Amino acid sequence: MVKRVLTHVALLTGAAVMLAPFILMLSISLKPPGEVFSPHFALLPTQWYAVENYTAAFTKVPLLRFLLNGLFVTLCIFAAQALTALPMAYALAKLRWRGREAAFSMVVLALLIPPQVPAIPLYIGLWQLGLLNTYAAIILPSTISVFGIFLMRQFFRTVPDDLIAAARMDGLSEWAIVWRIMLPTAAPAIAAFACLSFIWNWNEFFWPLIAVQEEHLMTPPLGIAFFSNAEAGTSFGPLMAAATVVTAPLALAFLLAQRAFIEGVTMTGVK
């Protein structure tokens, strides 16, 4: 009994530390400048300043634009990733063709390369094509997900061959089999793939920082760094309001779809 209580005390203390930044962020986003630097921390403001802070966050920088950019970029990236990864995963898992083993080895090899490694050549290539400072510059390098190919291939291998044979008897093309047979059976794996793709690309800072300088193209992390720089640590209220707005979509999605998120991460351990 004592042991159980101690476990909960330790876990609650840990949870308090883990959640402290989120609580602080919300708290400051509600406070006027005078209270932010008050020597005694209070969870709630004495003078509510939420409207002013959140209004400032959306007007001092084009925060809405950053959010829409983030949404557009993540959707394009996942669409491209799924559109290319699923057919290849099916070909690797269920079809016999020359070079299949070699292609799979290359996928495994590519999995080992950290995403920052191709940055310099990609930058040079995009510069030669005149594509720096465009949405394409942010999207193109992420259009391929070798992780997605690997994950879906593992999952597709467990789909019974009879199902595919029956689909062929019904006259379905291989392309149609990918989308009408394999896709529905692999729903949990796709959900995990989608979750990870969105987490990773919504939060990605390294590559957009390199590829884009113009304010109207910035994704949420880039936009908030830009905001922080412009304000140089003076207006914490609006900055924390912006941080809350940027963090909220993923945090809410996570709380609603915990299982898919955690399973996705566990299946792979990668991002």
| Stretch 231-250 residues interacting with another protein (CB under 8 A) | 233, 236, 239-240, 242-244, 246-247, 250
Q: Which residue has the tokens 């050549």?
A: 121
Give min distance, CB of 95 to another protein, in A. 4
Burial 231-266 (b: 16+ CB within 10 A, else e): beeebbbbbbbbbbbbbebbeebeeeeeebbebbee
Burial 129-147 (b: 16+ CB within 10 A, else e): eeebbbbebbbbbbbbbbb
78 neighbors 147 (Cβ within 8 angstroms): no
Residue 184 is a binding residue for another protein (CB under 8 A): no
Give min distance, CB of 96 to another protein, in A. 6
Residue 256 is a binding residue for another protein (CB under 8 A): no
89 neighbors 193 (Cβ within 8 angstroms): no
Beta carbon nearer to another protein, 52 or 253: 253
* Contacts of another protein in 82-141 (CB under 8 A): 83-85, 87-88, 90-92, 95-100, 103, 106-107, 109-110, 112-114, 116-125, 127, 140-141
Residue 167 is a binding residue for another protein (CB under 8 A): no
> Distance from first CA to last CA of the chain, Å, rounded?
38
Give min distance, CB of 216 to another protein, in A. 19
Contact stretch for another protein (CB under 8 A) within 46-54, 58-66, 154-162, 169-177? 169-177
* Contacts of another protein in 41-70 (CB under 8 A): 41
Beta carbon nearer to another protein, 51 or 262: 262
Beta carbon nearer to another protein, 14 or 48: 14
Q: Which residue has the tokens 């291998």?
A: 157
State how far the Cα of 177 lies from the Cα of 212, in Å rounded to an integer.
39
